Structure 1
């Protein structure tokens, strides 16, 4: 690996960093433009004469003192007319074409001139032309500006830009050297590896080195977070990766990554880590629009952002939410946009899956130039299956459309006309639903609807752009529907045989959804944005299912590890005399109460009971608390904010002198990602095999995979269900000294198909045919544990 102090930056990021100024204005600008811009580029490039070469990759390394600044990008086009060279830079615009003049945007010229310098330097040209091509998306009008430059003029301009950046590049380079030195001397933060932990770490390092994927099933308590981050950092120190994304599904699991990084800092690691917090949570002015008129943190944002970046970079290593808010207030800048800016200069980014995989919100500032050498660490990877389905799906509904149509009559007859046609098509689909079970499924995308949505988009954009300063109900609802329609149109662009379109009649309403059944191909393509991807979870089983559905292949590595804890630590019991199927639930209450009493009254402590639905949970909770006034009970509300979640978990204290029983829902807030170690949790009771509720979408998934691989029920219901069961059970044993009870209640747990999914550490469970056998098993376990 090279030891040179090389800083890589794109042409666009370079010129924007140096030349940007003014306000942050996130008011509506026409968000279909990213897709339309690409199409416009392609249209212009295809219409160009044969002398035109499109998408030309260019790079140049500028060296000064001990710094190598590697600048790269793609010129939209290079025109060679008998040796007369013109660099073409294409820009799309929503502004009227007559408003575009030669000095419309100096950054556009700067970008094109930088490409021109690199090309002229490479080809030893004394003169070169630069052309800006503006394409008006609505009218499709084109306006071009051409300027001739000597190489000397371009060189002077380029040197001015890079010399302005070089001091910042030195800061980045000094930090990278400092970081890499700390990584090379960094030792594993604990005295010893747990069983299997070293093997996990070595496998992750090898995967990153070779630029591959690995799927890791590692039981709870093995220390997956540190065993994936530590080797990733070691690979960074050796130059095999330049940035690590630690991706999670939930805020509550994000803290594991932050804690691991901080533990490593205590051992000498120097690293710039960033946690990206959702915009709605970190916003200073949640009721204001993101523009300079309404938000002071947007006004003059680009005049202050570079100073803020340099200040925080020189004085902080942990770009946490609290630190971002502190500096955001100091410089009066938007903290969310600030975090996105800092992501460019962070070594490790802790964030939601969306920022890498979701086609609507992924961090394009990293990935538009093509593949990178980044590493993706996917924590709790079992959650990515359903999250990916939602990322790649889109829906609209008739009721929202109809309400918007009624409002539009007073604001835009043009919009109203298109919405009326859309509503008519939705009525036709609703009629089809009424023929059979209030649902209608098609293999093909609804092109009539999509064409009408495409017709609506420019009309909506025009109205929104012309009424930026207005605030009324129509604007709010139009904007909301606009983004849903946009998602619908974009989803259609990658619609294939792994999708279906379904309509579902809900009272008089209709939901129409482009539903991604199998996200494997799209996840595979998204993974190519990085060099290597590490999927890990305590419940990544069956392994072949997850490799298939998450975009793995025969080249992917896979690793299964055994639990590092003694099987004697866990009392796994099964009551197989109760059926908790939906039809039988009302007959199970007394039996479940008897089991709960048997387990809870055997030893004072904290317990969690998990149910397949909130309704089932509340019914048992109310009956249990009524009959056990001496036992404290709490239950999971249908919706809980972060403070309420923390309050729920704070009840699980060590050394409680009376028992606590918490009632929760499988697959919910408290069934994974929480760490109740020691006596904070000594028992978990799991009611049912966790099957998702029977619904249209699950049945469609069932039918699809039944045809594809004859595993429809397994993919749609069984595997997701047992995953929830194993996650809930994994709350009990978190450390070597932990001891606890897990009781599984359902006759199906002994059926071969379910039993075969048990992890190795669940071997030889105690099968209890009645409450006496259960009482004996629990009593024996606690007596042996106390010896």
Structure 2
């Protein structure tokens, strides 16, 4: 973090002969901020990455343990004391701050208390247990001593064993001079990094001032979008923007955000996406600006399982050469990369990781701290299990969130904020641990018996729904977590370790979701064959999304399909103060011919009568012009049934079918089949809402038309019906929120594959009676050339 400080200097009296009584010199210093914890960990870290199990429950128990200790103290104990100091160098000011867990005032003593929860037996803990614990406390002690003119101060490390809640305290006394020397050594060692940051920010901001929009002309609507985004950032608000294909959404969001950073209106850009393809488009846009002179550090984060060099091993030094000694080499790797690279892709991270022999995933997370923009999946910001906590410790940050394809965030956020458990997982592990660890088996049996009890609630139905959270299971789950904690820590080499670890994390996730549970959630029990599912289901993610977005400065939520905009504004955490922008397509509407075939019913009960009729429509739509076509269906089953009829009736066509679970290379081969200037017709069969219905860019003659079968309604299921009932009670729009609007979005996304540039021409055929009946849908596609027959 950085900003600027101004120091006013009044020169000495020998200036008084000047025609002015005095001269004021204003010197502009850059202020670099860092927390005590980050300073200590960054400078003093060393050794191996060791992710063999060390007690992951400490993260969830830490806050509870702190509060437990603090509540037991008397009136002489001040908890959570904010401390801050500034260190002046020649041309920058380093601000170091944080919160001390507690400050104790005794008769003639002041004690800084640093509380640490641990799964290690207290007998094994002495004053040499962890250097970083002392270092953090020494920084707080130094700042407090300096602020209060103390010559001596005590530091107390309070260790609390999680399982027993027993406490061990270790206390040492330090002089102010000792602490000053220690703190100065830390900040002097950090100066090279602070100075690097200072120089980079000046270089970056100078390049931003000179930066012009990278194209000679704005497209229709593009300037309006860019200006709207800049003003939204300036106002520190949210913007919900529907910007159709062709406007150039990505560059139109990134360019004004970069400009705002250059004017100190923001600090870091998070470009959030749901799919890999949109992350690539964002990278391309930053590269375009780089070629126009922009200096901006941009990193794309890749999931751990994709970027890890050691696919089969856990992150521990015995199995991975990149984990062994990682922290001894990591700072050199960071310095090397950030002084030589601006656009930091997966390939860049892998290159420098191999050069310095460091873990590529952990390396990328460290680099993200130094980046001006982070391109990543939604989950790094919103998912409680995966979010980058290093960026969200403070309640308010000067972050700009650019949320691409924001329509995808609705269901993704519901998944991220929900959690589920299955009975059979506990039963199978109970059998596995029966002879290995009887106490563990007993703990698992308690949870299994709870599932048997709630299973009875489903006797008159396949499910049971309740608004309250399942509090009765929390105690046995916490008991299981404690026992699993100890076993996992001591048995990393056992074959049962992996299965137990997976269930352990699922239970932690379940307990974590319970912390956010309110009237926007429901709990349901569902029978699935011989299995039983228990789920805390987030129906309305708007509050949790708005809370996360509120931790930043400004948020831009944009998509080609945010219709109806009021629905997305409501469900994605907007309010009446937020800005809204709906832009028209920049393309000539005559370039897209839309045909509505509303004489065929595609309702589930009528589908078996529609196969041959749909096959005939596909033939009629494609027979006049050779080209590449995609036929989109609401389900794989419907697609396969129509496909079988079509190839039997019209064998002359070249066809392809989307398969379930296609690998990345299979997807690429599928898309490569859409050749430019085709000499014979290709008809591809795909699924709406799937990998080929959004995010793909088949320009020119690579896609001639799309045939869309049905309205794309989500499959009728328990969860959709629960959503429907919830919003019926809330706003009377249950069917719309659960089924209609998500279905409309799938259709609009599929339609959007056809026209990608101003020179593209194509056809869309919509098959289904509801296309003729849904007035709102007809309103959305108004203005286009529409024939009905």
* TM-score (normalizing by structure 2): 0.95
Deviation at 1:427, TM superposition (A): 1.4
Determine if the alignment matches structure 1 residue 461 to structure 2 residue 485.
Answer: yes
Q: Residue in 2 aligned with 1:5?
A: 30
Residues 197-248 of structure 1 deviation map (CA, whole Å, 9 limit, x = unaligned) = 1111111112222221111111111111111111110011011111111001
Distance 1:750 1:712 in 2: 22
| Match runs of 1:679-698 below 5 Å | 679-698=701-720
User: Paired residue for 2:749?
Assistant: 727
User: For 2:107 and 2:743, how far apart are their aligned partners in 1?
Assistant: 67
Deviation at 1:17, TM superposition (A): 1.0
Of the three residues 36, 44, 47, the one matched with 2:69 is: 44
Alpha carbons 1:562, 1:761 under 8 Å: kept? no
From 441, 460, 463, the counterpart of 1:439: 463
What's the Cα RMSD here?
1.5
Distance 1:408 1:70, change over 3 A: same
One of 729, 732, 737 as aligned partner of 1:710: 732
Corresponding residue number in structure 1 for 2:414: 389
Selected match of 2:618 from 596, 602, 613: 596
**Distance in structure 2 (CA, Å) of the matches to 1:588 and 1:497:** 43
**Cross-structure match for 2:549:** 527
CA distance in 2, matches of 1:406, 1:668: 39
Q: What SS class does the counterpart of residue 16 from structure 1 fall into?
A: helix
Aligned-pair distance for 1:704? 0.8
Could you tell me how far apart the structure 2 residues matched to 1:629 and 1:522 are?
52
Alignment of 1:56-67 (within 5 A): 56-67=81-92
User: Per-residue CA shift, 1:498-557, capped at 9, x if unaligned?
Assistant: 111111111111111111111111111111221111111111111111111111112211
How do 1:123-142 residues align onto structure 2 when only pairs under 5 Å count? Answer: 123-142=148-167
- Distance in 1 (alpha carbons) for counterparts of 2:580 and 2:111: 51
Q: Which moved more, 1:97-106 or 1:69-78?
A: 69-78
- The 3 A distance-change label for structure 1 pair 556 and 81 is farther
Contact 1:612-1:688 within 8 A present in 2 as well: yes
Map 1:85-100 to 2 at 5 A.
85-100=110-125
**1:481 equivalenced with 2:506 (yes/no):** no
Q: What is the deviation of 1:182?
A: 1.0
1:77-102 residue CA offsets vs partner (Å, 9 max, x unmatched): 22233574322211111110111111
Structure 1 residue 759: Cα displacement: 6.0
Q: Is the 8 A contact 1:574 1:743 kept in 2?
A: yes
Structure 1 length as normaliser, TM-score?
0.95
Counterpart position of 1:451: 475
State how far apart, in whole Å, the 1-side matches of 2:282 and 2:428 are: 44
* Residue of structure 2 equivalent to 1:572: 594
Rounded to whole Å, the distance in 2 between the matches of 1:416 and 1:584 is 51
**SS in structure 2 opposite 1:5?**
strand
Task: Report what 2:254 is aligned to.
Answer: 229
Q: Secondary structure at the match of 1:291?
A: coil
Q: Is the 8 A contact 2:772 2:778 kept in 1?
A: no
In 1, distance between residues paired with 2:348 and 2:172?
Answer: 46
Which residue of the partner structure matches residue 401 of structure 2? 376
1:762 paired to 2:782 = yes
List alignment gaps of at least 5 residues for structure 2.
5-27
* Contact 1:610 1:686 (8 Å CA) reproduced: yes
Task: Kindly state the Cα deviation for residue 431 of structure 1 after the two structures are TM-superposed.
Answer: 2.3
Q: Distance in 2 between matches of 1:629 and 1:213?
A: 52
**What does 1:312-711 correspond to in 2, within 5 Å?**
312-436=337-461, 438-468=462-492, 470-472=493-495, 474-711=496-733
Greater shift, 159-168 or 85-94, is seen at 85-94
Report deviation, 1:576: 0.8
Please report how far the alpha carbon of residue 713 of structure 1 lies from its aligned counterpart in structure 2 after TM superposition: 0.5
C-alpha distance after superposition, 1:443-498 (max 9, x if no partner) = 11122222111111101111111212x231x2221111111111111111111111
Asked whether the 8 Å contact 1:542–1:757 carries over to 2, the reply is no
* Cα distance per residue 1:304-345 (max 9 Å; x no partner): 111111111111112211111111111111111111111111
Is the Cα–Cα contact under 8 Å of residues 212 and 533 in structure 1 kept in the other structure? yes
Q: How far has the Cα of 1:764 moved from its partner?
A: 5.3
Is the aligned partner of 1:81 residue 2:106? yes
Shift of 1:4: 3.2
**Worse-superposed segment, 38-47 or 574-583:** 38-47
Q: Does 1:148 align with 2:173?
A: yes
State how far apart, in whole Å, the 2-side matches of 1:165 and 1:412 are: 48
- Asked whether the 8 Å contact 1:450–1:488 carries over to 2, the reply is no
- Of 195, 214, 219, which aligns to 2:239? 214
Displacement of 1:599 after TM fit?
1.4
Q: Which residue of structure 1 lines up, in the alignment, with residue 97 of structure 2?
A: 72
Instruction: Give the C-alpha shift of residue 758 in structure 1.
Output: 4.6
Aligned twin of 1:780:
none
SS of equivalent to 2:339: helix
1: CA distance, partners of 2:317 / 2:197:
31
1:167 matches 2:192: yes
Shift of 1:369: 3.2
Q: Name the SS of the counterpart of 2:206 in structure 1.
A: helix
Q: Which runs of 5+ in 1 are unaligned?
A: 770-787
